[in-house]
Structure 1
């Protein structure tokens, strides 16, 4: 079975952040991801992860703008200088956390100039951090209207244009189902590009055993195709986090 990680931004939220690492480990997760770990001290978070015995798998970049600005702008023309400045901060945090992946968010944009900007920013980031795994993730237009990267064929084209070995695809099963209606088909077509997987039930983005998607079969297919990356649970618990972990126990975890 895959190696499972818990998204600590969405899960175990009844606890303070520094206590969520141990809670995730106790529940049976071997890794964690934190979407925007910029408001807390990175060394302290890393120590909490080490103490709990979990790996920090992924963070998002750039840091969020809580004053109403965009939370991603790699594809927004005219923001190149800001992108590079904020990416440097994300890189410092990722290094302090020993994070395996950094997800670069495209932001809201459209058109050929946005594509050019996105590709050039990703090329720069890949060269700036050649030993860091960078991921890009299509987001569905229902939940994220106007988001530039909104399809998997588009993401494959971007990865091809960037042409960097440390830039790969992040596949979220919830987004894939909304975008295409065929999450398994997305995996079958683009498996060679996938560096990181996130899971959630559809509809509703709750536990992966709630809704229309056959995640148990998906896990078996990941094994059959030799996927060795992490599978992160990135969902909103329908009740409490712990009460909704039957799917993890059925997947063979403690």
Structure 2
């Protein structure tokens, strides 16, 4: 049976994070993940996780100032980028979260790539017990973002040579940018640290749209993937009303 993680950046986003964790447990999710938890006391988040028995799979580094979408690939922002990485590491350890998505930001070129690798090296060496994720984003939702494709991410991970650096494979973003999801999953699976799902093209519930997640889930089972899939979609209205897909895809 496939396990699913509720991404609380989108699901139950109207609730404080501890209450969103409890709502995800009541809905039958197997784990949770989030975007930016820093406004909430980590002790309260940890209490909600302990109460429900859910694990927080991942969180993001802060985006930076308004209009930014991460700092780690921005030349000249190394001090701020590493401060946010260190903040994320401290928070993750307080809530026993195993992975951190290091947000690159809006940048391009060789200097940005070198900056990103240096900051990722800082992260991976500062917390060898954690997994650090990089995620390609599509150019429609995040125009100008540094990381836009799976080949770019693979080459960067290979160049960095860091054992705890992995790819966040977001099927929504990569279907928009590249398509051929099945082949890319097969090829990139050894580098993947987490997989997220949502409908394409509108980022709705994953039982809608052009991408057949029943096929994707069967493929992942055949490939031996046994970790939760992150449901990172935007519900229309109340989250509870959007969850009809959960039992269908789980089965």
TM superposition score category, shorter chain reference: over 0.9
Counterpart contact for 1:2–1:222, Cα < 8 Å: no
1:59 aligns with 2:59: yes
Tell me the number of residue pairs that the alignment of Structure 1 and Structure 2 aligns.
251
Q: Which residue does the alignment assign to 1:30?
A: 30
2:88 maps to 90
Summarize the alignment of residues 77-156 of structure 1 with structure 2, pairs less than 5 Å apart: 77-156=75-154
1:69, CA displacement in angstroms?
A: 5.0
Farther off after superposition, 76-85 or 11-20: 11-20
Q: CA deviation at 1:18?
A: 2.1
Report if aligned partners of 2:17, 2:37 keep a CA contact under 8 Å in 1. no
CA 1:247 to 1:84, structure 2 compared with 1: closer, same or farther past 3 Å? same
Query: Contact between 2:182 and 2:216, CA under 8 Å: does it hold in 1?
Result: yes
Question: Is 1:12–1:20's contact at 8 Å kept on the other side of the alignment?
Answer: yes
User: Is 1:3–2:12 an aligned residue pair?
Assistant: no
| Greater alpha carbon shift after TM alignment, 131-140 vs 175-184 | 175-184
CA distance in 1, matches of 2:13, 2:68: 24
Tell me the SS of whatever aligns to 1:212: coil
Moved more, 157-166 or 70-79: 70-79
Aligned to 2:170: 172
Q: Aligned partners of 2:15 and 2:68: how far apart in 1?
A: 28
Give the TM-score taking structure 1 as reference length: 0.94
Displacement of 1:17 in angstroms is: 2.6
Matching residue within 231, 245, 248 for 1:247: 245
Q: How big is the alpha-carbon RMSD for the aligned residues of Structure 1 and Structure 2?
A: 1.4
